[in-house]
């Protein structure tokens, strides 16, 4: 059989095709229009998205129970987009002290130079946050649990206070992967997550998402995203679409494995405290039990104060299955040790991400590292 210069029609696949392109074509001069909203102009320019991008956005919106979702080049890009969409020079923003480190760095560096004041608040403040609002407060951030010290926030109370003050309430919902905590049912206006983590699931992509049910929030976010030029890779979007297919299975396995490891560590004399939302030793545990449908792979341990910085770093260095590196939510277990002890804990803190290895092998790895530390 001879083939002409075109592929035959009729190909059907279970996967979403990867559509790449910067220039998109119009039927005629009169229909040429540059518009970021796909419901007004489906494909104006590759910067705004391709069918692959929009498919991922639609699935994230469905996953979170949102009306709209935008895809960004990474989680930090999603955070910056929310700040710049809702705050400007002379405005006041409230951000919890347990927020993701680059979030705080953005606040104290670039946003401060732009005239946006970011005030840090106690993540366990709950409804008392109302006393911190000012006439110029435009945005309130939540992060529950915090990505290091793991406090669970009373998000419904904070969101209600923000609504009364006329401020937007945004949540970093990365830990919950958009499914373990229903942001919009608990009053949040804007939810973001780093798709790099659980949605991607394999430590091989960088993406973020911002979701909302509110038309006004969507317009503000979409316009800011267009002006910032937040283009995303359709290849990364394709990997995220693949990750979504196994998200539920992975989260269930990660929860069970992580609980096994966390409960084992809670019984070790070297460990003063285990900061896992499902354990009573974690600040805000009762709020987790009230608001969450499960737990994920990330938690922290606080060493007894007799172990100094060198001893704790030595423990991390002696781990074998656990690798040392940033990020989390992938198939490989990770450990990170900080040089400072946050939240006034008396001992040094190590953050652990549990991957897809056999949990008994991970326990054995931790056991040998702790035994060496003791010796």
Q: Mark out the alpha helices in 34-167 (DSSP H runs).
A: 51-64, 75-86, 101-106, 112-113, 155-165
Query: If you average pLDDT over residues 154-178, what whole number do you get?
Result: 98
Structure-model confidence comparison of residues 238 and 345, the more confident one: 238
Kindly list the distances between the CA atom of residue 33 and the CA atoms of 37, 50, 230, 259, in Å, as whole numbers in the listed order: 11, 16, 19, 53
DSSP state of 74: S
Task: Please check whether the two domains, 29-242 and 247-374, share a CATH topology.
Answer: no
Q: How far apart are CA 64 and CA 57, in angstroms?
A: 11
29 Rama class: left (phi>0) / alpha (psi -120 to 50) / beta: alpha
Q: How far apart are CA 48 and CA 330, in angstroms?
A: 28
Burial string for 147-160 (b: 16+ CB within 10 Å, else e) reads bbbbbbbbbbbbbb
Query: If you average pLDDT over residues 134-163, what whole number do you get?
Result: 97
Bond preceding residue 77 cis, omega within 30 of 0: no
Kindly list the distances between the CA atom of residue 30 and the CA atoms of 21, 36, 38, in Å, as whole numbers in the listed order: 22, 18, 18
pLDDT tens-digit readout, 38-96: 888 888 888 899 999 999 999 999 999 999 999 999 999 999 999 999 999 999 999 99
Lookup result for tokens 């592929």: 7
* Sequential DSSP letters for 338-353: -SS-GGG-SS-EEEEE
- Torsion of Cα atoms, 128 then 129 then 134 then 138, to 10°: -150
pLDDT tens-digit readout, 330-349: 999 999 997 666 677 888 99
The pTM of this model reads 0.94
Beta-bridge partners for 300: 275, 351
CATH, domain range 247-374: 3.90.1150.10
Query: What pLDDT shows up at residue 338?
Result: 75
Class of domain 29-242: alpha beta
Query: What pLDDT shows up at residue 42?
Result: 85
Task: Say how many residues make up the chain.
Answer: 375
pLDDT tens-digit readout, 286-345: 999 999 999 999 999 999 999 999 999 999 999 999 999 998 999 999 999 976 666 778
Q: How far apart are CA 345 and CA 364, in angstroms?
A: 26
Task: Give the domain ranges of the chain.
Answer: 29-242, 247-374
Q: How far apart are CA 38 and CA 33, in angstroms?
A: 12
Q: Name the pLDDT band for 26 (thresholds 50, 70, 90).
A: confident
């Amino acid at each position: 059989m001879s083939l002409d210069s075109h592929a035959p029609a009729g190909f059907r696949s279970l996967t979403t095709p990867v559509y790449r392109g910067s220039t998109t074509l119009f039927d005629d001069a009169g229909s040429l229009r540059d518009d970021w909203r796909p419901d007004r102009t489906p494909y104006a320019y590759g910067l705004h998205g391709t069918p692959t991008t929009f498919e991922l956005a639609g699935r994230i919106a469905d996953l979170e129970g949102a009306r709209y979702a935008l895809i960004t080049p990474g989680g930090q890009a999603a955070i910056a987009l929310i700040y710049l969409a809702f705050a400007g020079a002379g405005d006041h923003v409230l951000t919890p002290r347990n927020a993701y480190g680059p979030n705080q760095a953005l606040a104290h560096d670039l946003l401060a130079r732009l005239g946006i004041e970011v005030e840090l608040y106690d993540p366990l403040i709950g409804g008392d946050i109302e006393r911190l609002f000012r006439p110029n407060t435009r945005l309130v951030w939540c992060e529950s649990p915090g990505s290091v010290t793991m406090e669970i926030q009373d998000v419904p109370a904070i969101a209600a206070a923000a609504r009364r003050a006329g401020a937007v309430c945004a949540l970093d919902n990365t830990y919950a992967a958009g499914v373990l905590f229903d942001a919009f049912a608990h009053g949040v206006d804007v939810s973001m997550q780093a798709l790099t983590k659980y949605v991607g699931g394999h430590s091989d992509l960088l993406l973020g998402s911002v979701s909302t049910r509110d038309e006004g929030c969507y317009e503000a976010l979409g316009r800011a995203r267009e002006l910032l030029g937040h283009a995303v890779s359709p290849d990364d979007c394709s990997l995220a679409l693949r990750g979504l297919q196994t998200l539920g299975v992975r989260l269930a396995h990660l929860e069970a494995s992580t609980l096994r490891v966390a409960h084992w560590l809670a019984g070790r004399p070297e460990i003063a405290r285990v900061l896992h939302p499902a354990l009573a030793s974690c600040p805000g545990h009762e709020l987790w039990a009230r608001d969450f449908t499960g737990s994920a792979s990330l938690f922290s341990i606080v060493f007894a104060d007799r172990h100094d910085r060198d001893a704790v770093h030595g423990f991390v260095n002696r781990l074998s299955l656990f690798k040392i590196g940033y990020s989390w939510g992938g198939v490989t277990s990770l450990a990170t040790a900080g040089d400072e002890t946050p939240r006034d804990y008396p001992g040094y803190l190590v953050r652990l991400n549990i991957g897809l290895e056999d949990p008994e092998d991970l326990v054995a790895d931790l056991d040998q590292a702790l035994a060496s530390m003791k010796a």
